[in-house]
Amino acid sequence: MILHKGVVVHPDEITQTWKKVILGSDIDILGIHPVGGGDSHERVRELAEHGFEASAAETVRELMSHGVGLEYELHVMSLLLPRELFGAHPEYFRLDENGGRNADYNCCASNKDALEIISQNACELAKKLPSSTHRYCFWLDDVRDKCCRCPECSRLSASDQALAVYNAVQRGVRRADIQGRQSYLAYCGASEPPSSVEPEDGVYLEYAPFDRDFRKPMSCSENAPSARNARELAAFFGAKDGKVLEYWLDNSMFSGWQKPPKKLNADPELIRRDLEFYDALGFGAVTTFACYLGADYEELWGEPDLGGYAVFDK
């Protein structure tokens, strides 16, 4: 049963409208996701060192005082395994498609020393950006097909490599927060269940169906591959402690990740049917990206219509 619902927004889009919506509805998780791109880890570092800008910080405090959970959803491989280590330790990084070590994305998922560094840095990051729900989302890079092809990693699927890294993150998160749990982000190349790596205690499923058809419900034939992945992942990891990360309100994607934001056209029927789909699979929490709906959106288009996602008569 879906017990928790969230929205994931950019740090500079934590508006008074969101406060009103979250406090007045059944949404009880605020997820923070820095603007993407190659230097997004720098924005995470900034957030970890200096926190939110003053008015956003006040809004977050107020939401949390009302029991709203705060989570950070972050692609942070450059912080977990700094690329500057490449000079001294190229073996920490992936063997790429051309047969050379490369620090461009992700890491070697079989290198024990690299995994230990990832653990330590995950611990430090969890101390600086604690999750009030104890759910942590420190993810691999936002790319597809950038695995390690070294002899050991070649025996692992992309999903296995991802899980090996998330297990290392989990060990670090747990050192910072005894109840901390790290997500396995099922996304792009890691959308199928792992086959030869097992999740360590605390790792939970976070299913982000980026490859779905966003105009059709998950139960439609167009979304059969994504729906099958969801079912298989739920069977592998369990869904009760898992979370769906959807795109129903992702106005950054619908705007082509280019400002100014376009007008959001959320589809209430699609959202309703998808919520039923995830509920039937047993997911305990569902959240959706809801970026590009900040103050600049409201100036152009007024308060966003959330397509019935937020239920106000709670």
In the list 27, 77, 108, 164, the residue contacting Zn ion (rule: CB under 5 A) is 108
The CB-of-203 to Zn ion minimum distance in angstroms stands at: 20
Determine, following the binding rule CB under 5 A, whether residue 103 of this chain makes contact with Zn ion.
no
User: Both tokens of residue 106?
Assistant: 């992700």
Determine, following the binding rule CB under 5 A, whether residue 81 of this chain makes contact with Zn ion.
no
Whether the Cβ atoms of residue 69 and residue 133 lie closer than 8 Å to each other: yes
Determine, following the binding rule CB under 5 A, whether residue 77 of this chain makes contact with Zn ion.
no
Residues 6+ apart with CB under 8 A from 263: 300, 301
In the list 32, 77, 153, 281, the residue contacting Zn ion (rule: CB under 5 A) is 153
Which residue number, 114 or 123, has a Cβ lying nearer to Zn ion? 114
Which residue number, 123 or 148, has a Cβ lying nearer to Zn ion? 148
CA distance 143 to 11: 22
Identify the residue whose tokens are 């070697």: 108
Tell me the per-residue interface mask from 121 to 150 with Zn ion, x by CB under 5 A, - otherwise.
---------------------------x-x
The CB-of-182 to Zn ion minimum distance in angstroms stands at: 20
Q: Taking contact as CB under 5 A, which single stretch among the options 81-89, 109-117, 207-215, 226-234 is the one that binds Zn ion?
A: 109-117
Identify the residue whose tokens are 């910072």: 176
Cα 268 to the center of its chain, rounded Å:
23
Which residue number, 46 or 152, has a Cβ lying nearer to Zn ion? 152
The CB-of-183 to Zn ion minimum distance in angstroms stands at: 22
| Closest of 303, 266, 288 to residue 4, by C-alpha | 288
Strand 285-289 to 204-207 pairing: unpaired
Contacts with Zn ion by CB under 5 A: the residue count is: 5
The CB-of-148 to Zn ion minimum distance in angstroms stands at: 3
Determine, following the binding rule CB under 5 A, whether residue 197 of this chain makes contact with Zn ion.
no
Which residue number, 44 or 108, has a Cβ lying nearer to Zn ion? 108
CA distance 69 to 162: 26
**Residue 176 is inside which H or E element, if any?**
helix 158-176
Cα 51 to the center of its chain, rounded Å:
19
Length of the chain equals 314
Cα 248 to the center of its chain, rounded Å:
14
In the list 40, 59, 110, 167, the residue contacting Zn ion (rule: CB under 5 A) is 110
Determine, following the binding rule CB under 5 A, whether residue 249 of this chain makes contact with Zn ion.
no
Binding site for Zn ion (CB under 5 A): 108, 110, 148, 150, 153
